[in-house]
Amino acid sequence: MLSSSELGGARSFRERRAKSLKLKKRERERERRPPKRKLNNCNAI
């Protein structure tokens, strides 16, 4: 039997992994087609 603290830890670990995977996907999309608007906005500032 898993204690409540162990279950919570496993859940947070799973969520953290999902978040990291989502971030990696976003980074890959940026590399494929970089958003020019954001770059222009940064240069303007």
Where exactly are the structural domains of the chain?
4-44
Cα separation, 43 vs 31, whole angstroms: 19
From the list 25, 14, 39, the residue with the least C-alpha distance to 6 is 14
Quick check: 1 pLDDT over 60?
no
Which pTM value belongs to this model?
A: 0.41
Residue 31: in which H helix or E strand, if any?
A: helix 4-32
Quick check: 42 pLDDT over 80?
no
Quick check: 41 pLDDT over 80?
no
pLDDT grade for 28, boundaries at 50, 70 and 90: confident
Mean pLDDT of the chain: 73
Cα separation, 14 vs 6, whole angstroms: 12
Quick check: 37 pLDDT over 60?
yes
Tokens of 32: 């494929």
